Structure 1
Amino acid sequence: MFVKDLLDLEISVGYSFTLRFDECDEKLAIGLSTELIRNENVDVIIGPSCAAAAHVAAVNAVFYNLPIFTWGLSTSYSLSDISRYPTVGVLSDAFSETNDVIITITVEIRKMKFEDIARVLGDVSLRARVVVVCLPEGYGFKRTFILAAKDAGFLNEEYLYIFADTKSKGFYIPLLGGKERLIWKDVETPSDGRDAEAMMAFGRTLVISDHMGTGGSEDGYDAFSKEVISRMKDSPFNCVDDCNKTEYSYAAAYAGELFDSLYVYARALNATLKQNATALRNGTTIIENVEMTFDGMSGVVKVGKNGVRFPNFYVDGLDKNGKQILLGTVSVEGDRGLYEPMYASETGIWWARGGLRPRDEPLCGFSGDKVP
């Protein structure tokens, strides 16, 4: 697939891959990136895919003036500083440091006990009704949280909870082999029998995420995933027996961003070599040619002059039947976010609230002492 696109760009496809795994460990990242640059004499590093490892590998690449393109969860805003990282391209959805849109209240809840959640929401209720919640995916924490909010009386028409997470596909939890689990399904044994109740509770919430590099079209990404698995059986990977296992029957998370990283590098390299045929490993010059926009496998890819992709986020909700629906997209450039709705009328979004949008402040005020 990638080779086909290189041919379309009229780039010579004589190449080889050298694979190293940093395991998101800084020590491994600095050692392996040095090995790749000095011993393997690579022309580019595609990765790492997490922030801590990306930082040290990026510094190393800058020292050697080698291009490096990070992806996946390398979402650190500091990598966008081109004065510090002039050879770095970032294809993940990096966060901005601006906080003028959301007032955050950070609370650490270690064991997710009902009493702790109720206490925290009691404090939050004194100053907010729209609550942004950040909890890790896959452990049932979000289900525990939303049921605790309901039981404690903090899930009525006044409250809106927005689950924000980069490592998320909305209301579906990714599993091995391309399977998914609904977010309201109980993961404990025995089950508490509250799945239907939890689904209705999540109907009062929204999720904003990056869809884990799958873009806005699930069908399009499914086709891409099938082609990835099919081509893994070909050279240079020749993965036949192992890739027939169920857990390897679907492309890994953020594979779309990996594809787009290689594509961005190829186009930038093509433009660079037209200007200077000797600049094959000149990271600074290659990044100077990285500004571009195209429809990628991970959604719309727009890369700025600093080598960093402008983030795209997706806002998802649930319909009455528990089906996830894409409500809108948020594209970010600098400190500005543009929301593009995907619906004709917002009444359907608030079906669990009688079709009415929740207020940012109750009619009687947060403390109930205001007269409407």
Structure 2
Amino acid sequence: MNEMIFFNFFLISIFNFIESVNIINVGILIPSNADSALHRDCGMYNSLGAIPLAIDRIVDEGLLDNYNFTFKIFNDECDESLAAGYVATLLEEDGVDVIFGPVCNAAAKVVGSIGNYYNKPIMTWGLANSYELTNYDKYPTVSTIVGTSRVLGRAIVKVMQQYNWKQFAFLYGTNDPRNRCGFIKTDVETVINNESDIFISYQRAISNTSLENLKTVLTAVSTRARIILCCYEFDIDKRNYLLALKDLKMNTDDYVNIFVEMRGLGFGTRFTDGAEYDIVSGTVPIWILGPGYPPDGRDQDAKNGARNSFFIDFQTSSSADSKSFASAVMERAQSWPFYCENCSSVYYNASTYAKYLHDSFYLYGLALNRTLASGNGTEGIPNGVDIILHTRGTFVGVTGVVNIGVNGTRDATFFFTGLRANLKSQVFMTIPFKEGVGTIYLNYTDSATTVWEIRGGKVPLDVPLCGFAGNLCPVDFWANYYPYVIAAIVVAL
């Protein structure tokens, strides 16, 4: 059942008992906990607490003095038809001023079009990362706080060029109903097709991500590529992939395995309690088997499988401690203003994208403040186009430095993260984008002793000297023709 939840609360600390209060009606489209994958990334019960945390900052900075919020929430479950029906209800019957969500690409496109018709701001977050959402002519009232997978493709190009790689294989999981990796693959492929010196040598969709099937897939890849990029929806799939690398001995110096992601966790996960922590993200690393799975005793094997692996992922924020923020999200969801009885950290951990919801809500408060200061919206809450125009600019959020470009889209910053010889993660490269143009900042002086330390300082080749099958080695002239040369010299004498 997709029930609507209504919250109405008064920010007394903002307006200090002034009788005349402006009401901001907020609509939220968000998944419940019905789908485990959606719940993990952006579910209602483990994300809502990010909103009062953002309101705390809005209050502290005095951005919306004399304003009050009401909330109406629908669980659209990332379903396009449900999202379309609920957004119509929110706009027609409830008269909301802004909508947060949907959190998935397909539903976000539907709601973005309707938001354009009503001229209401649509503040997307979560898994809404399709480049199509940045089309200002089509979606002038849509804000994207996450960044886009098209820019991820450009970050991949930067990494390939940095190490003189011309070709790579691309593997992507299709066992996700929302096809997140499929959207990423499409945008990456579009970028690569526009490059004259880089190409995808092998591509495969993977519906069965079991360990045995991944070993079958990687065996086929080994005859076609040495640089392998992959996208998987679930942490267990990534761990299976690492185990497959270990079992097939494809975690050696000859191979480069790059996970492409858009979660800002790198080698980490959303879990913040464990016996081992990833240094960069401050969370439990992907090689540790997650809760809910029976122990298999192979955490160390998965860790060894990761020795030649990297991540190209959103920047990992250093402005907020992951564990502290996750705890605060769960705590605040259970108190003012939502008083959510089901939001218990005993059963739920803060969602992967809760940080992005926080920054999206704060961005709306910031943009509304700017719009009001500009003189627009004096007769009520400003329209969507004006709000989105005033999202432009830079602030430091929980997800790091947030720079919003001319069309309301975040200019993402990517980290290229790998493992040192001690199997501890390190950010080797920072790639910020500004209006679609990326710049590389190297976080090392000598790649041999950092990036490639674990391989004895040698940069892997995208094509082995002897070819993928090992039968194309250059002929050693003297080894093969020395007797004939000597004979020729003797005859000549």
TM-score range, shorter chain: 0.7 to 0.9
Query: How far off its partner does 1:200 sit?
Result: 1.8
Q: Paired residue for 1:92? A: 146
**2:256 matched to 1:164?**
no
How high is the sequence identity, in percent, across the aligned residues? 34
**2:319 matched to 1:224?**
no
Q: Paired residue for 1:295? A: 396
Q: Paired residue for 1:371? A: 474
**The residue matched to 1:174 in structure 2 has which SS?**
coil
Q: Paired residue for 1:304? A: 405
**The residue matched to 2:204 in structure 1 has which SS?**
coil
Answer whether contact 2:242 2:287 (CA < 8 A) is retained: no
**2:58 matched to 1:6?**
yes
Q: Paired residue for 1:184? A: 287
From the superposition, tell whether residues 88 and 178 of structure 1 become closer, same or farther in structure 2 (CA, over 3 Å).
farther
Q: Paired residue for 1:62? A: 116
Residue pairs, 1:167-316, within 5 angstroms: 167=263, 169-175=265-271, 181-185=284-288, 189=294, 191=296, 193-210=297-314, 215-217=316-318, 220-239=321-340, 242-248=342-348, 250-273=349-372, 274-276=374-376, 277-278=378-379, 280-316=381-417
Letter in 2 for 1:306: N
- Separation in 1 of the partners of 2:131 and 2:411? 11
Query: How far off its partner does 1:36 sit?
Result: 1.0
Letter in 2 for 1:138: D
Q: Which digits, 9 at most, give the CA deviation of each residue in 1:252-277, with x for residues without a partner?
A: 22111111111211222222223222
**The residue matched to 1:173 in structure 2 has which SS?**
coil
* TM-score under structure 1 length normalisation: 0.86
Letter in 2 for 1:355: G
Q: Paired residue for 1:38? A: 92
Larger displacement relative to structure 2 (280-289 or 182-191): 182-191
Letter in 1 for 2:400: G
Q: Which digits, 9 at most, give the CA deviation of each residue in 1:77-120, with x for residues without a partner?
A: 10000000011111112111422566343312333467754554
From the superposition, tell whether residues 245 and 110 of structure 1 become closer, same or farther in structure 2 (CA, over 3 Å).
closer
Answer whether contact 2:368 2:382 (CA < 8 A) is retained: no
Counterpart selection for 2:425 from 324, 331, 351: 324
**2:446 matched to 1:345?**
yes
**The residue matched to 1:362 in structure 2 has which SS?**
coil
**The residue matched to 1:300 in structure 2 has which SS?**
strand
- Separation in 2 of the partners of 1:227 and 1:298? 15
Q: Which digits, 9 at most, give the CA deviation of each residue in 1:1-50, with x for residues without a partner?
A: 43343342442332212222211111111111111111111110111111
**The residue matched to 1:356 in structure 2 has which SS?**
coil
**The residue matched to 2:302 in structure 1 has which SS?**
helix
Letter in 2 for 1:30: A
Residue pairs, 1:93-112, within 5 angstroms: 93-96=147-150, 97=187, 98-99=191-192, 100=194, 103-104=199-200, 105-112=202-209
Larger displacement relative to structure 2 (41-50 or 227-236): 227-236
- Separation in 1 of the partners of 2:256 and 2:208? 23
Q: Unpaired segments of 5 or more residues in structure 2?
A: 1-52, 151-186, 275-282, 476-493
The structure having more radius of gyration, on CA atoms, is: 2
From the superposition, tell whether residues 152 and 87 of structure 1 become closer, same or farther in structure 2 (CA, over 3 Å).
same
- Separation in 1 of the partners of 2:325 and 2:264? 19
Query: How far off its partner does 1:318 sit?
Result: 2.8
- Separation in 2 of the partners of 1:367 and 1:163? 25
Q: Unpaired segments of 5 or more residues in structure 1?
A: none
From the superposition, tell whether residues 262 and 245 of structure 1 become closer, same or farther in structure 2 (CA, over 3 Å).
closer
Query: How far off its partner does 1:163 sit?
Result: 1.1
Letter in 2 for 1:132: L
Larger displacement relative to structure 2 (328-337 or 58-67): 328-337
State the aligned residue count: 364
**2:240 matched to 1:144?**
yes
**2:358 matched to 1:358?**
no
Answer whether contact 2:63 2:366 (CA < 8 A) is retained: no
Query: How far off its partner does 1:370 sit?
Result: 4.6
Query: How far off its partner does 1:230 sit?
Result: 3.9
Query: How far off its partner does 1:153 sit?
Result: 4.7
**The residue matched to 2:459 in structure 1 has which SS?**
coil
Q: Which digits, 9 at most, give the CA deviation of each residue in 1:133-166, with x for residues without a partner?
A: 1222232x23333333444453332210001122
Letter in 1 for 2:58: L
Q: Paired residue for 2:277? A: none
Answer whether contact 2:371 2:390 (CA < 8 A) is retained: yes
Answer whether contact 2:319 2:397 (CA < 8 A) is retained: no
From the superposition, tell whether residues 243 and 184 of structure 1 become closer, same or farther in structure 2 (CA, over 3 Å).
closer
- Separation in 2 of the partners of 1:118 and 1:134? 16
Letter in 1 for 2:261: D
Answer whether contact 1:30 1:56 (CA < 8 A) is retained: yes
**2:252 matched to 1:129?**
no
- Separation in 1 of the partners of 2:321 and 2:289? 30
Query: How far off its partner does 1:185 sit?
Result: 3.7
Q: Which digits, 9 at most, give the CA deviation of each residue in 1:162-199, with x for residues without a partner?
A: 01122472223334x766654234576562x4432331
Query: How far off its partner does 1:60 sit?
Result: 1.1
From the superposition, tell whether residues 25 and 146 of structure 1 become closer, same or farther in structure 2 (CA, over 3 Å).
same
- Separation in 1 of the partners of 2:446 and 2:56? 42
